[in-house]
Amino acid sequence: MGDETFLDHVKNPRNVGLLDDANVVIQAGDPECDDKLIFFIKIEDDVVRDIKFLIEGCETTVATSSIVTELVIRQPLDAVLSISDRSISDALDGLPEEKMHCTAMAASAMHTAVHQYRATPKGEASSSTHSFEHYRIVAQVLNQPLAEVYSSDFDL
């Protein structure tokens, strides 16, 4: 495990915060460890223009969330779909097997964002909930400003 890259992302997580003009919001959580996070994503013309996240979680979840934002930012959606738990782990110079569910949650969160965005007609809002073995993901496509959605129901 490459401690240097990992610790850098734990201590200085990239792209933390709210993204006011996000049009896709992904909540992800693992009920067993109680880690939870929200990705705010701006997708336009089939490209991830911007992404930020908020998190309450362990070091590995912080590092995987941080690195995944760097992996997807300014990438076309097809490239986002090719991101895997392994590629996230590799970008952190390797993670132990027992932490691979954290990378799987981050990869699933990005894939779910793309699928939800592509399945939603332009100008419409939508949401869906997905249960995986270790975690749960709620995906929302917004057609109103984030501030209005954020003050309503987030329920992981």
Site for ligand FES, rule CB under 6 A? 30, 33, 35, 57-58, 60-61, 101-102, 105
Q: Select 52 or 101, whichever has its Cβ closest to ligand FES.
A: 101
Min separation Cβ 124 and ligand FES, Å = 31
Q: Select 33 or 47, whichever has its Cβ closest to ligand FES.
A: 33
User: Nearest 5 degrees, angle CA 133-CA 47-CA 20?
Assistant: 80
Min separation Cβ 137 and ligand FES, Å = 12
3-state SS assignment for residue 42: strand
Which H/E stretch holds residue 116? helix 100-119
User: Nearest 5 degrees, angle CA 40-CA 44-CA 48?
Assistant: 50
Min separation Cβ 92 and ligand FES, Å = 13
